[in-house]
Structure 1
């Protein structure tokens, strides 16, 4: 492909995605659905004109991993650990744990009854569907009340992180649960220690680097340490989470003389710049992930009767269990909050990363994308319906 044409395609993709985002905020239509649809239409166009798009299946997991890192970093940078928020932090943490544990068990039980495969395989297949998408939640909470908005943001941030850790634990427990507990605890403590050292070092660099290019090298260091930890099967995302929490809550960790050494007068301004860079990087990665995902989707898998039935049952379980968790953890009328249970990039990426020998036999490949789409529609309809009731 000619380089000029490639530049045009990439630029148009970002601009169209930005337009979808503006359209979404105005008309409450999920931009992800529009990106997926555009990807599917692009596939039809390339097939019609006999144009080959190479490396689609190779690019998708890489983009997903980059998006995952940026999502966790963005979530960490959004979480504020102040004492006046301890109550909502405890309740949203409990809600996330209940949603992941209960939702996974219920969906795994359903799959076990339908497919009669190993319950362990059913658990691994079900877990990605129990994780709320923090990115989509943040985009959709502007229609909620103040308390509901705060609850949804914290809950989704915790869910993303805990869900990924639970997924890694399940993979470790393939041979022995006790061995998995030991390995998981050891790796978590080791990565927490390494993460704290990296946090102090990177914070020192942020305060001392005077070069106009500052944050891309630091984010590159995070990517590098993440990849090295991933190769060694460590809890690599813990580093990203701790770094984000550390930067956004430095007043809890950095005090006295240490504050004079590690921070400068421009720190808050620079932190805002890092947040903006992370948000924009996440936007670009998500754009191409969903475009390529739509391009890679096989249409007949999305209209498979079995896939549609299982997807609808998953949605019913997710919403039903969410009602239970909100009754236990949310103080007040949940209203539209009940319907804010979207799934997104994390669900799709974790499902794609299930090892081949652990995949559930008979599980239709179109189910993950169908569940994501159906829950986007549920979120949209629920919020619009709640707004009409208030009016």
Structure 2
């Protein structure tokens, strides 16, 4: 049996990072999403391993771990972009409403399509499968909207972040409903009612989020040496993992932490002011921006490559997959048009086309417990939706750039350094 050695794996990992960087530059020039190139690289690796007669590798454990870390980094990255100012209240509320209502109606439409077209699928299981397909991908959206106007850019940052968090919480709420209706006979006690469980989870998560955030930020103001940022990220990941095991909503912890860092003066009022050191907070905020951006780049790279290496490409050529996927796509953009038109008037381009699915869609799909999985649901539907929505987004951004006559940068993996970050790097060099 063939075994891949350590050094070939190291070389492969380095080459993947290098290729991801090159894909980023190609994306800037050609407008082809780097995500699609990374998935294509994964497919190439999959068939390369088959040609080398290397036994099939179970990528799921790796994909799951990378996906969870990626999810944390993406939410933290998005939270560090959220500025809570009076002049932004309107756009925050508007994006929250569009994200929540759009997610809810898209989910119902997708669940209906899955329920009627996939055999042996009950309604709640259909909703479980529909949720990942209804969540916007902030991992793709946030780095892709840099050339839009400031208002539209902020709208997409807020909307995709809210969609991620609300969608993930709803996914586990539906899972709790299914478990409540199908209790395990071996369980010692009865399963708590889903609404009560959900309410307790949110309340405790918010309390833990604020307590942990204030504690961590107070301590890390006084740590100036060593790998303090990786220590901080490790503690956040630890909080997420422990919160998950305790059935909380740990993404709220990550979100609250990032929002407090970004809006520190707002959250340090009254007696808390004495624990606030503005200069140290600014340094910590800028360093966190850099490390989350760099870490998200690496995590997204390996996630989409491994996803490409684990998917079954032949499923894309199934007429059933094509039929279900096309109906899902029609529902996605029809519902998006409805809410954008209702809340934003006629100025809904290119926002209408910016609705890609990505990392969270894949991660939640693989999070469906085996006992609730349906063998008739083809994973090719996920791949089709991810590719199609990414291509539609690319077309929308290109069309918008031509109309405005501005150069377009479509880069769903990593943003270029801002002037401030370059100055920060320069100032940091002794």
Give the structure-2-normalised TM-score.
0.87
| 1:240 equivalent in structure 2 | 254
Counterpart CA distance in 2 for 1:287 and 1:190 is 34
| 2:46 equivalent in structure 1 | 43
Q: In structure 2, the residue corresponding to 1:208 is in which secondary structure?
A: coil
Q: In structure 2, the residue corresponding to 1:29 is in which secondary structure?
A: coil
Matched-pair contact (CA < 8 Å) for 1:203–1:262: no
**Which of 148, 154, 162 is matched with 2:152 structurally?**
148
Counterpart CA distance in 2 for 1:256 and 1:172 is 40
| 2:68 equivalent in structure 1 | 65
CA shift digits 1:208-240 (9 cap, x unpaired): 112132111111111111111111211121111
1:1-391 aligned within 5 A: 1-52=4-55, 54-115=57-118, 117-174=121-178, 175=180, 179-391=193-405
Matched-pair contact (CA < 8 Å) for 1:80–1:248: yes
Does the C-alpha gap of structure 1 residues 252 and 332 become closer, same or farther in structure 2, counting only changes over 3 Å? farther
Q: What is the root-mean-square deviation of aligned Cα atoms in Å? A: 1.8
Counterpart CA distance in 2 for 1:308 and 1:263 is 56
Counterpart CA distance in 2 for 1:359 and 1:52 is 26
Matched-pair contact (CA < 8 Å) for 1:339–1:378: yes
Q: In structure 1, the residue corresponding to 2:389 is in which secondary structure?
A: helix
Does the C-alpha gap of structure 1 residues 53 and 259 become closer, same or farther in structure 2, counting only changes over 3 Å? farther
Does the C-alpha gap of structure 1 residues 42 and 115 become closer, same or farther in structure 2, counting only changes over 3 Å? closer
Matched-pair contact (CA < 8 Å) for 1:21–1:31: yes
Q: In structure 2, the residue corresponding to 1:327 is in which secondary structure?
A: helix
Give the deviation of 1:256 after TM superposition: 4.5
Higher helix share: 1
Matched-pair contact (CA < 8 Å) for 1:92–1:329: no
**Gap regions ≥5 residues in structure 1:** none
CA shift digits 1:280-306 (9 cap, x unpaired): 111111111111111111121222221
Counterpart CA distance in 2 for 1:239 and 1:266 is 22
229-238 or 112-121: which moved more?
A: 112-121
Counterpart CA distance in 2 for 1:197 and 1:178 is 26
Give the deviation of 1:194 after TM superposition: 1.1
Counterpart CA distance in 2 for 1:31 and 1:12 is 15
150-159 or 329-338: which moved more?
A: 329-338
Counterpart CA distance in 2 for 1:260 and 1:376 is 47
Q: Which runs of 4+ in 1 moved over 6 A?
A: none
Matched-pair contact (CA < 8 Å) for 1:71–1:135: yes
**Gap regions ≥5 residues in structure 2:** 182-190, 406-430
CA shift digits 1:43-75 (9 cap, x unpaired): 111211223474422211111111111111111
Counterpart CA distance in 2 for 1:2 and 1:364 is 34
Counterpart CA distance in 2 for 1:363 and 1:289 is 22
Give the deviation of 1:130 after TM superposition: 1.0
Matched-pair contact (CA < 8 Å) for 2:113–2:324: no
Counterpart CA distance in 2 for 1:53 and 1:360 is 23
Counterpart CA distance in 2 for 1:167 and 1:303 is 29
Give the deviation of 1:163 after TM superposition: 0.9
Give the structure-1-normalised TM-score.
0.95
